[in-house]
Every structure is written in C-alpha cells, then in structure tokens.
Structure 1
Amino acid sequence: MIKVLFICHGNICRSPMAEFVLRDFITKIGMDDNFIVGSAATSQEEIGNGVYPPVKKILTSLGIDCSNKVARQINLGDTKSFDYIIAMESVNLDNLYRLFPRCDKSKVYLLKDFTDTPGDIADPWYTRDFDKAYKEIATGCLGLLKSLNQDALISLDEKQHKALDSLVI
C-alpha cells in the first residue's frame, strides 16, 4: 500500500485537485487497492471549507466528485504515516518544516519533481489560472505514477500500462 498526501497552503485548490486527480488516474489504471491518497493544508485558514468553486468546476467537468472534501491541516500523524508528502510549491515545504522540524525529508517532494519541468505550481487562488494549475497537477500525478512504476514500487500489467499511457491531461 502506497500512501500519498498532497499539501498546499489552504487545502481548497491545489492539494485537493491533486488528491482527486490522482485517485481518478489510479481508478483508471485499476490500482485502487494499492493506494491511500489524501490532502491537507499547512495553514489553518480554510479548515472546514469545501473545495474552491473553480476547482470543483474543473473536477466535475472531468466526472470527479469532490463534494465531501473539507479542508484540514496536516498533523504529526500524517508526517509519520504517509509514504509521500507532496507539496505544490516550495513555500509549502517551508511551512511544513516549520510545523514539523523533524519531518522525514526523504519522503517529501514537490509535485513537479515528477515532471520534466521541476518547480512550483502557482496558487490559482492568486493567479486565477485554474486550467494551468490543473494541467501542471495532472502532469505531476501522471509523472508520479510513472516514477513509482519505473522504481518498481507498483507493478503494472500490459493492460494497466496501456491505461497509464492513455491518460489524457
């Protein structure tokens, strides 16, 4: 079982988008039983709020239901129980390490580390470019799955390989 936690500032835009996109990809390649996927905030600002409407609109257009998601803050247990803690931008990492200075850095990544263009995913709350954020997040999620397969942490049969290669971003 691979446990992935996505983090961003408020847990209403980028990290829930990544959570639900990765879950969707996992379902499409038939690996539901191999993953636990969640998301959390590094701040307390949005705790209890639902997914931000423009993000919900994008996910809904893809046939993804996120209506039960509410923002929550990462906790110490998360830092211990998840295998991968994947942030959207470097400031999220700074906040994570401020909250949990002893967090195991070997399991912490930026989502775009799994792409050909490492770096930050800008917060669409400020940029208003939710489509760009989606494309970067989906590309990162696809890259994560390919990385896990390449590192033999998941094992895909021929049908699953084809499904992975056919995922559309």
Structure 2
Amino acid sequence: MIKVLFVCLGNICRSPMAEAVFRDKVQHAGLNQKIEVDSAGTGDWHIGHPPHEGTRKKLDDIGISYEGMKGRQIRSEDFTDFDYIIAMDESNQRDIEDLMDRSGQAKVIRFMSLLNDEPSKSVPDPYYTGNFDEVYELVNKGTEALLQMIINEHLK
C-alpha cells in the first residue's frame, strides 16, 4: 500500500482539497486498494473541523466527495506511516522537515515541484485569497502528475 499525506497550514483549504481530488483520481483509476490518502495541517487551529466552506463548495461544484474529512495536525508517526508527504507551500515544507525524525521513511515533496514550479513555488492559500478555483486548477494538475509518478515508480 502506497500512502500519501497532503499537508498545508491549517488542514481546511488546500490539503483537504488535494486529498479529496487525489482520492477521486485514485478511485477512478481503480487503485483504492493500492493507494491510501490523507491530509493534515502543521498548525492545530482547525483540528476536528470540516474543510473550509470554499473548499466544500468547489468540491460540491465538481462532484467530488469530502465526506468524513476532519482537520488534524501532522504527527510524528506520519513520517513512518506515509510514503509521501506533500507540502502545499515552501513554509509547510520547512515546518515538515523541522518536525521530521530523520529515521522516517516518508519522502517530502513540495506540491508545485510536481508541476515544475509553474507558475509559483507555492499553492496560494485560499483562506487569505478566496481563490478556490485557482487552487483547484493547480490541485487537479498536480494530483494527476502525482498519480502518474506513483504508478510509474510503484505500480508498473
């Protein structure tokens, strides 16, 4: 089982959107028995809360489920339980790497590196910008690239 964890600051906007979109892609590819998906935040402000209403609205508009998703904070065991930890921005990546026990197996990847860093190095935080459409476009392209990478590296 390949395990993927998406991480942003509060785990209510970007990382749950990426989790839901990636989970949908995994299901449509018939790989839900081979790939497990979750999300977390580096901060603890939204533990137990559902995704942000902007994330929920965007996912509703495109017909992707977020049922049962609740915010949680990244934990030390995530570094050994997950194969990939995907940071939604540079600050999240630094925070993750600061927390990570070097014995962990997880490979930390900055999300935008999946898209060759274009147009920026970070997925903009819609909590501040309100632009959930832009975030979805990036998340949709990046999760497609991630799925192809995992298939090529582990499932061929």
Common fold, TM-score beyond 0.5? yes
Alignment-derived partner of residue 148 in structure 2: 146
Question: Could you tell me the percent identity over the aligned residues?
Answer: 37
Alignment-derived partner of residue 57 in structure 2: 57
Per the normalisation by structure 1, the TM-score is 0.85
Kindly provide the amino acid, as one letter, of the partner of residue 134 in structure 1. Answer: Y
Per the normalisation by structure 2, the TM-score is 0.91
Say whether the 8 Å CA contact 1:13–1:124 is kept in structure 2: yes
Say whether the 8 Å CA contact 2:10–2:44 is kept in structure 1: yes
Which has the larger Rg? 1
Alignment-derived partner of residue 6 in structure 1: 6
Kindly provide the amino acid, as one letter, of the partner of residue 115 in structure 2. Answer: T
- Partners in 2 of 1:83 and 1:101 — Cα distance? 14
What count of residue pairs does the alignment treat as equivalent?
A: 154
Say whether the 8 Å CA contact 2:41–2:71 is kept in structure 1: yes
RMSD in angstroms over aligned alpha carbons? 1.7
Unpaired runs of at least 5, structure 2: none
Say whether the 8 Å CA contact 1:51–1:67 is kept in structure 2: no
CA shift, 1:105, in A, is 8.2
Deviation larger for 142-151 or 129-138: 142-151
Kindly provide the amino acid, as one letter, of the partner of residue 83 in structure 2. Answer: D
> Equivalent residue of 1:33, what SS?
coil
Alignment-derived partner of residue 70 in structure 1: 70
Unpaired runs of at least 5, structure 1: 156-169
Alignment-derived partner of residue 125 in structure 2: 123
> Equivalent residue of 2:57, what SS?
helix
